[in-house]
Structures are given as structure tokens and as C-alpha cells.
Amino acid sequence: MSKLLANIEKVSAGYNGETVLRNISLKIHDHDFIGVIGPNGGGKTTMVKVLLGLLAPYKGKVSHPNGPIRIGYLPQAAHIDRSFPITVQEVVESGLQGRPFWRPGPSKTQKQQIAQILHETGLSSYAHRPIGELSGGQLQRTLLGRALIKEPDLLVLDEPNTYVDKTFEGELYKWLQELNKKMAILLVSHDVGTISSMVKTIACVNQELHYHPSNVLSAELLKVYNCPIDVIAHGPVPHRVLGEHRH
């Protein structure tokens, strides 16, 4: 029996009195791999903020029925100030849970954890480099390392494939398949074609939320779900891509 990690119940949320999400509900269990799709401005990031506790909902609640959970978060790359003077190691280390002020540095075990994560993300030789010197893919690996260092129960990724090259994107998706054996994943993307081949279920968010219990979705269903998605042009002809497909 799978364990319920987070329960979003009848949540309405938004900013400055304006409602972006209306009465949405979603249950996240361990080992879930949910792809969150929807048009820009449809409320995907707002839902993530509510789930992470960064935004208080107008109505409804987010609960963790089986006790507190550890959440790892990979924000949109645009959210990160790349000119900030901070090194790769410091960014990864910042993912560790807060320590008491009288023991501010990482413990011996935590130091080993940092070294291990840097090794796994292939960033050992970049540990003392400032993030401004990294490529888009290296920065995403650093942020992923920060999200993974506390071994989360739930990993939330907000548009992880923007500003990265195709090589890193492929690498990231392989990683996520491996990580899903250990944790639940919520992957937000406007690119349904790329994610539908790897997620287990899909949540369409466009003010409302429609949960689809498989990764295969038809254009008709998207209409029913009121979830128009952007046309994807990764071949000669722009098209909507659903389920598995090959060029």
C-alpha cells in the first residue's frame, strides 16, 4: 500500500486577491511520478508554491497525513541570480536542513554527503567555482544536487528543461527515472511531449486541476480538461505530442 505524502485539498490560491487556482485537489503518494502540464499563466507555479508552503491558499489546505516530509525543490533557472557570489559547493550545502547556530558548519557526515552529491552530479572539479562560471546544464546539476542532498521524500521540479542543452535534458530524465525508485517526483513542464514518455500520471492545471491517472493523453481529453498546451516544434512540423512517439 503506497503512503500518502501530501494532500492538496480544495485549494484556491492567487496573488493580491486575484484567484489563479480554483478549488484544486491532488494527492501525492510515495513513488508517484506526476507530470504537471498546462498553459503559461495557468497556475502551475502557483500550485508548486502552495505545495511548498511559500504561498498561503485563500481556501483549502495542504496536509501531510503521515507526518512531516522532506521536500527537495528545483526552481526555474530564471529564478536564480547567476551573478551572486556563491560557489557550487556552497549552493549544494545550502540544501542541508538548518543546523543550530552554535554548530553552523556541516558535520563530518554531512561533508561526506556533499562530496558524494558533487561526485554523483559530476561537479567535484567545479566545487569551488562560482555559479556564474557554469553552463546552463552545470547550474541545473548544482541546483539538483541542492534539492537532493537531504534525501527528500518528494522532489519538485519546476520547468527543469529550460535554458539547458538536449544532452543534459536526456541525462536529467534518466536520473529522474532512477530517483523515482527512492522518492516521489512532481515535474512541472509546459512541454507535454517530452515528459509524457516518463511520468506515470498527469495533472492538467489551468485554473482548475484535472488529474489523469496515466501518461497517455489525447487531444480530445485535453479539451475536456480545459488544458490547451503550447504547440511543440521539435521537428520540421510544429505539432502536439502526446504519449510515446518517434520521429
Partner 1 sequence: MSQFFDLFAYSFFQNAFAASILISLLSALIGTYIVARKNVFISGGITHASFGGIGIAYYLGLNPFLGAAVFAVLTGTSIEWITNKGKMREDSAIAILWSLGMALGIIFVFLTPGYAPNLMSFLFGSILSVGRSDVLLIGGLTLLTALFFLLAYRPILYTAFDPEFSSINGIKVTFYRYSMAVLVALAIVVSIRAMGIILVLSLFTIPQTTALLYTHSFKRIVGLAALFALSGALIGLYVAYAMNIPSGAAIIFVLTLQYLLLKGIDLLRLQRRRNTAE
From the CB of 138, what's the least distance to partner 1, in Å? 15
Backbone angles phi, psi at 74, to 5 degrees: -110, 105
Nearer Cβ to partner 1, position 54 or 231? 54
The residue type at 223: K
207 backbone φψ class: left, alpha, beta (φ>0; ψ -120 to 50): left
Does residue 79 bind partner 1 (CB under 8 A)? Answer: yes
If one asks whether residue 53 binds partner 1 (CB under 8 A), the answer comes out as yes
- 86 belongs to the binding site for partner 1 (CB under 8 A): yes
Near partner 1 by CB under 8 A, which window of 18-26, 56-64, 67-75, 193-201? 67-75
Retrieve residue 188's grid coordinates. 512541472
Q: Label residue 230 exposed, middle or buried (CB < 10 Å: 0-12, 13-18, 19+).
A: middle
Question: How far is Cα 99 from Cα 76, in angstroms, rounded to an integer?
Answer: 26
108 forms part of the interface with partner 1 (CB under 8 A): no
Site string for partner 1, 134-163 (x = CB under 8 A): ------------x---x-------------
Cβ pair 11, 57 in contact under 8 A: yes
- Rounded to whole angstroms, the Cα distance separating 236 from 232 reads 11
Of the candidate spans 4-12, 20-28, 125-133, 215-223, the one that interacts with partner 1 by CB under 8 A turns out to be 125-133
Which H helix or E strand runs over 219? helix 219-224
Stretch that binds partner 1, among 19-27, 101-109, 172-180, 213-221 (CB under 8 A): 101-109
| In the complex, minimum distance from the CB of residue 101 to partner 1, in angstroms, rounded to a whole number | 5
Choose among 180, 170, 162, 165: nearest CA to 72: 180
- Smallest distance from partner 1 to CB 56, Å: 12
Which residues lie near partner 1 (CB under 8 A)?
15-16, 52-54, 71, 73, 75, 79-81, 83-87, 90-91, 93-98, 101-102, 104-105, 128, 130, 132-133, 146, 150
